[in-house]
Amino acid sequence: MLFLGNNWGSSRARITMKLALLPLLALYLGFISGEASRNVSSRPAVVNIGAVFTFNSTIGRAAKVAINAAMDDVNADSSVLQGTKLAITMQDSNCNGFLGIVEALQFMEVDIIAIVGPQCSTIAHILCHVGNELQVPMLSFAATDPSLSSLQFPFFVRTTQSDAFQMAAIAEMLEYYQWKQVIAVFFDDDYGRNGIAALGDELAERRCRISYKAALPPEATRSDITELLVKVALMESHVIVLHANPTTGLEVLYVAHFLEMMGNGYVWIATDWLASRLDSFAPLAPETMSTMQGVLTLRQHTPDSKRKSALVSKWRMLTKKENSGNFQLNSYGLYAYDTVWMIARAIDAFFNDGGRISFSNDSRLHDVKGGALHLEAMSVFDGGKLLLDEIRKTNFTGITGQVQFDSDGNLIHPAYDIINVVGTGMRTVGYWSNYSGLSVVPPETLYSKPPNHSAANQQLYSVIWPGETTTKPRGWVFPNSGKELRIGVPNRVSYKQFVSKDPVTGTVKGYCIDVFTAAVSLLPYAVPYKLIPFGNGRENPSYAGLANMVASNVFDAAVGDIAIVTNRTKIVDYTQPYIESGLVVLAPVKRHHSNAWAFLQPFTVEMWCVTGLFFLVVGAVVWILEHRINDEFRGPPRKQLATVFWFSFSTLFFAHRENTVSTLGRAVLIIWLFVVLIIQSSYTASLTSILTVQQLSSPIRGIDSLRTTNEPIGFQVGSFAENYMVEELNISRSRLKALGSPEEYARALELGPDNGGVAAVVDERPYIEMFLEANCKFSIIGSEFTKSGWGFIFPRDSPLAVDLSTAILSLSENGDLQRIHDKWLTTGTCSTATDELDSDRLHLNSFWGLFLICGVACFLALFIFFMLMLRQYLQHASEGEAEPSSQGNSRSGRSLHRFLSFVDDKEEDVKNRSKRRQMQKTTDNGTADIES
């Protein structure tokens, strides 16, 4: 590098003098060294650092004042460097790469140990190589290019937030407002190009994308900007992210306003350059503010604190001291202020850990033969690695908040204010942080709570958008180039009611087409389109192929009877389903005619057996409860048995003549009559259905029974049913037979599997219902075994798919969708035939609760009855004479026999015997007294 002027001469003279004194210095220190060591000190009086940035810029003006203020504050605080003074030499790079290199190399000749800057990302990419070679840390408060990583440039320390976080904030804003496509306008340098690349990565994670990258040359003229924005205005997306520098960014907004791109429907999101400009020079001129109404911009968030307020309050005095003009403090000035404090604290820690400021010649530069470049004059900072480690370990609270680095070399807690430009100023509509995403609460408040990135937790205040509206812009329009949408339509040869091409006129019509045109008519904008038939006209086309053509941009969309299938959703987007669908089984059925034994069909065998058993049980229980007190339940054994049977079965018709007298008997009978009522009503209803409704049967019970056989299965040509049965149901493809029309359906089903036909056909319900209108000898077996619907296909992330889905929902709500269905798809009598071919017989599990109640009632009644009988028997036995002694077994047998006889006796006879026994006892006692 060639250096001209007195600076180079004086620098070379200093170097010569130091080299001459080197031997004396080495002897004085007591060692001999082959290196050319210079300026060795443990804690010198002054520490020199450099600063490279653009003085005459929005960021540089604030940074210059802030750096000098920080240097004064550090030197005034003896506890920081313990007596050592900090000296900062500034160089103006003018954001010029060549000048920046020259000035940085000049710094390396005067033995500085760190550089504040550079400001521009473009210069930083170049100077970082110098910093790596000479081991001089570079602390940049404004180079936000995400590609400036600590891995490639270990001596580059970013003391502000990386644009990777700013782009993440913009991506979350786009996701919050549900915009899927964005146009990026940027200046094609390292700063612009790498920032937009980071935005593309963040959008891809959220299934969004940059639809067009509008790059401008770094020295773009107004004509360049106008030409580019005219192209942007003709594009579909109207969400624009502007990533530029303050001067040229304002020029872009001015041209956009001139081209009427700041009106309704547009969204402009500017990166933090705009907030810096507004913070520094607000209020701007009214004509300037009018060009950016409704724009969203971001500002690096710095929490409020007393130190920040103190710096802001004395800012006007500082600018007067520097004679820098009238401007305010911006966020980059705050980070520049903290950067100086970061260097001061790191230098203090460097000295405390035994670091010394010394420099050595770089042997590789010394060996370079380059004429008058004199690269050997630059030296390597021996303590560079130690100072860099101290900087990386920095941890203090500055005016920008907590100053600390993470493992990737980024400042912790990255956060941004989201600002809406309105009127003559700005209003904050929310915040973003990588801790909790979007919120209306300052990030420092959320750090004390668990992180929450859920969609429900993302919040922003209302925004006034371009055009002075609070309604969220749609964010896209159809291009003004007049290009029609190329819409592929299946050219069907069967079931033409859904969609077909008229062979005479060439027009496309059908149920699906009417739904599409009705939905398009509800859109708030015009949609030019052209329907293009897809297929050879001899057989139904492949719907998977149609979806692939949309995915590959051969068609802009596809409209028709297209099922929503999982595999297709991976490559295209569907609208809201406009008709329900699902795969069903179609099979031939046989009609059942009623026979002589049809009256037995309502109940199963188990139901008949249990019902008959309970008739006998209830009759026996009532007989037991009534036998002792009711003459109608007494008599010879043959008569009593007949009474039990008669009473039991006569309750079926509520025709029993015997009256119940006992309370327990009546309770049991009431419960039983209720059970009989339910059983009789159910039987009557089931028998009526059996005798009046046509019953159908088929050996196939549904898809499960069809899978277990080896019989052939039919499917419609072009349908997804083929791959579904093979891939999901594991049915061999050799069993499947393609059928192209309803006539082929009927013929194959009539032939059957033994005669070259099929056992059943698997197809979607709308087709089968249409088929059944004219074919009543077939029926749907079982129920649907898939649940889906039909929708229209669009490319991935197409905004038109979202709007059409909303229109389809409106058609459903206002009844137009049903009217279109009734127009094309009439329902015949056969299509409503029952899906269940087995008759609905009544099973025991439908009545077990009633039988349980009745059984428990009978048991409780018998238990109470026998307890009462046992008590009466014991009283009766105590009144009688003592039995003669005998063996235990014979005595027990006689007791049981006497108890059963007692129970069998009529209660009135038992009471009479008891009275006679008591009278006999009274008489005997009187006779004994007389004799006595």
**854 contact partners, CB below 8 Å, separation of at least 6:** 614, 618, 671, 672, 675
Q: Distance from CA of residue 391 to its chain's centroid? A: 41
H or E stretch at 779: strand 778-781
DSSP 8-state assignment for residue 604: -
What pLDDT was estimated at residue 212?
94
- SS3 per residue for 459-517: CCCCCCECCCECCCCCCECCCCCCCCEEEEEECCCCCCCCCEECCCCCCEECHHHHHHH
Nearest in space to 87 (alpha carbons), one of 66, 113, 65, 61? 113
| Pairwise pLDDT comparison (837 vs 801), residue with the higher score | 801
CA distance 477 to 474: 8
- 802 vs 821: CA distance, rounded Å: 23
| Omega prior to 118 cis, within 30 of 0 | yes
Mean pLDDT of the chain: 83
Tens of pLDDT along 668-722?
A: 878 877 888 887 788 787 777 766 654 555 678 888 889 988 999 999 998 999 9
Residue 836 predicted with pLDDT over 50: no
242 by DSSP, 3-state: which?
Answer: strand
Q: What are the φ and ψ backbone dihedral angles of 496, each rounded to 5 degrees?
A: -70, -10
SS3 of the chain: helix, strand, coil, percent, to 5: 50, 15, 35
Question: pLDDT > 90: what percent of the chain?
Answer: 52
What does the alpha-carbon distance between residue 617 and residue 607 come to, in Å, rounded to a whole number? 15
pLDDT in tens, 64-93: 999 999 999 999 998 999 889 999 999 888
Nearest Cα neighbor of 133 from 159, 104, 96 is 104
- pLDDT for residue 613: 86
- d(CA 387, CA 121) in angstroms, rounded, equals 23
Phi, psi torsion values for 903, nearest 5 degrees? -65, -35
Residue type (1 letter), 630: N
- From the list 92, 79, 14, 8, the residue with the least C-alpha distance to 50 is 92
pLDDT tier for residue 11 given thresholds of 50, 70 and 90: very low
**pLDDT average, residue stretch 596-602:** 68
Nearest to 658 by CA among 674, 634, 676, 680: 634
Predicted local distance difference test score (pLDDT) of residue 414: 96
Q: Under a CB-based contact definition with an 8 Å cutoff, are residues 343 and 116 in contact? A: yes
Residues facing residue 138 across a β-bridge: 115, 156
CA distance 394 to 412: 11
pLDDT, position 759: 92
Give CA–CA dist 757/750, Å, rounded. 7
- CA end-to-end span of the chain: 161
DSSP structure class, residue 86:
E
Instruction: Quote the tokens at residue 204.
Output: 């891809």
- Is residue 338 pLDDT above 80, yes or no? yes
Distance between CA 914 and CA 902 in Å, rounded?
12
| 883 pLDDT more than 60 | no
Residue 573 φ then ψ, to 5°: -110, 145
What pLDDT digit, counting tens, does each position of 884-914 carry?
Answer: 444 445 555 566 666 666 666 666 566 666 6
Task: Give the model's pLDDT for residue 881.
Answer: 42
The angle at the Cα of 646, spanning 640 to 650, to the nearest 5 degrees, equals 150
Residue 611 half-sphere exposure toward CB, CA atoms < 13 A: 25
Residues 6+ apart with CB under 8 A from 837: 589, 695, 696, 697, 698, 701, 779, 781
As a residue count, the chain comes to: 932
Query: In the prediction, which pLDDT does 239 show?
Result: 96
Average the pLDDT over 506-530 and give the result: 92
Question: How far apart are the C-alpha atoms of 768 and 775, rounded to whole Å?
Answer: 10
Instruction: Quick: pLDDT tens for 132-152.
Output: 988 999 999 999 999 998 888
Tally of helices (H runs) and strands (E runs) in the chain: 32, 34
What are the tokens at 91?
A: 């160089």
Give the model's pLDDT for residue 4: 31
Answer yes or no: are the C-beta atoms of 87 and 340 closer than 8 Å. no
Written in H, E and C, the secondary structure of 35-70 is CCCEEEECCCCEEEEEEEECCCCHHHHHHHHHHHHH
Q: Is the pLDDT of residue 497 over 80?
A: yes
Give the pLDDT mean for 33-58.
73
β-strand partners of 51: 90, 116
Does the pLDDT at position 484 exceed 90? Answer: no
Rounded Cα distance, 44 and 358, in Å: 11
Confidence of residue 463 (pLDDT cuts 50, 70, 90): very high
| pLDDT number for residue 36 | 38
Q: Report d(CA 488, CA 530) in Å as an integer.
A: 9
> What pLDDT does 141 receive?
96
Residue 12, pLDDT above cutoff 80: no
Which has more confidence, 890 or 748? 748
pLDDT value for 129? 87
Look up residue 801 and give its two tokens. 């798919």
Say if CB 140 and CB 114 are below 8 A apart: no
**Structure confidence at residue 514 (pLDDT):** 95
What pLDDT was estimated at residue 369? 56
Backbone angles phi, psi at 835, to 5 degrees: -80, -25
Q: What is the pTM of this model?
A: 0.69
Using 50, 70 and 90 to split pLDDT, how confident is the model at 59?
very high
Beta strands in 343-424 (DSSP E): 357-361, 379-381, 395-398, 401-404, 415-422
| 652 vs 195, residue with greater confidence | 195
Mean per-residue pLDDT, 502-524: 91
Contact between residue 627 and residue 634 where contact means Cβ atoms under 8 Å apart: yes
Report the share of the chain in percent with pLDDT over 70: 80
Over 60: is that where the pLDDT of 656 sits? yes
Task: Give the CA diameter of the chain.
Answer: 169
What single DSSP character describes residue 883? Answer: P
pLDDT for res 409: 92
Q: What is the mean pLDDT of residues 396-422?
A: 95
Phi, psi of 508 (to 5 degrees): -105, 130
Supply angle C-alpha 554, 558, 561, rounded to 5: 145
Q: pLDDT: is 697 or 860 the higher one?
A: 860
What backbone torsions phi and psi does residue 504 show, to the nearest 5 degrees?
-90, -55
Is pLDDT at 787 greater than 50 in this prediction? Answer: yes
Q: What is the pLDDT of residue 289?
A: 94
- Pick 389 or 648 by higher pLDDT: 389
Instruction: Determine the Cα–Cα distance for residues 793 and 546; give it in Å rounded to an integer.
Output: 9
